[in-house]
Amino acid sequence: MKALFPRVPPRAPLEAVFLNTSGGLTGGDKMRIAAEAREGAHLTVSSQAAERVYRAPPGPDAEVDVTLKIGAGSRIDWLPQETIIFDGGAVSRRMTIDIADGAKALVLEPVILGREAMGETLREARFRDRWTLRREGRVVFADALRLDGDPTALMRRPGIAGGARAWASILFAAADAEARVQPLRDLIGRAGGVSLIRDNILFARILAPDGYDLRRVLIPVVERLSGAALPKVWRL
How high does pLDDT run on average in the chain? 93
Kindly tell me the number of DSSP H helices and DSSP E strands found in the chain: 3, 15
**Residue 119 confidence (pLDDT):** 67
Question: Per residue in 176-189, pLDDT tens?
Answer: 999 999 999 999 99
Considering the entire predicted model, what is its pTM? 0.94
Burial of 9 (0-12, 13-18, 19+ CB in 10 A): exposed
Question: Per residue in 129-157, pLDDT tens?
Answer: 999 999 999 999 999 999 998 988 888 88
